[in-house]
Amino acid sequence: MAAELAGFAGAELAFIHVIEPELVNAADTGVQPATLEAAARDEAHKLIDDFRSHLSLNSPILEFVEIGSAATEVVRAAKDWPADLIVVGSHGRGGLRRALLGSVAEAVMRQASCPVLVVRGKE
C-alpha cells in the first residue's frame, strides 16, 4: 500500500524495521551482544532488500533499522526523516489477544505527529 501511494504521489518511500532488544541482549546464549546485533541488522537489511525487489519504484528507498520498542522507533524514524505519512500494517487482532500482545499500530497512531494509515494484512 505504501509503495502504491508513493508511486502515485511521486513521493519518497522508507522502510523502517525494528529489532526487539531482547534478541540482541540474550545473555543466556553465550554469544556477544554485538555479534547478535550485527546478525539481526544483516537479516533486517535482507528483508528490506526482498521487499524492495518486489517493488517497481523509480525513486530511491530509504531504510531505517533500529533497536527498541517498535512503535517508539517507528515514530522516531518518521519524525527524524521527516515523514508526511506513516503506513503501518495490522494483524487485526482484537480482544484478549490484542490486550496481551499489544498493538504496534495503535501505539504508532497515538504517538505519531503525522497522519498514520493502518493497513490490515491479508489473511
Q: What mean pLDDT is predicted for residues 83-110?
A: 76
- Report d(CA 16, CA 8) in Å as an integer: 21
pLDDT reported for residue 31: 76
- Read off the C-alpha cell for 109: 497512531
The per-residue pLDDT for range 62-71, each reduced to its tens digit, is 999 999 999 9
Q: Name the CATH code of domain 2-120 (choices 3.40.50.620, 3.40.640.10, 3.90.700.10, 3.90.180.10).
A: 3.40.50.620
> What band does 79 get if pLDDT is binned at 50, 70 and 90?
very high
Residues with Cβ < 8 Å from 65, sequence gap 6 or more? 17, 18, 19, 41, 44, 45, 48
pLDDT reported for residue 94: 61
Our CA angle for 44, 65, 80, nearest 5°, is 155
- Read off the C-alpha cell for 40: 539481526
Q: Residue ranges of the domains in the chain?
A: 2-120
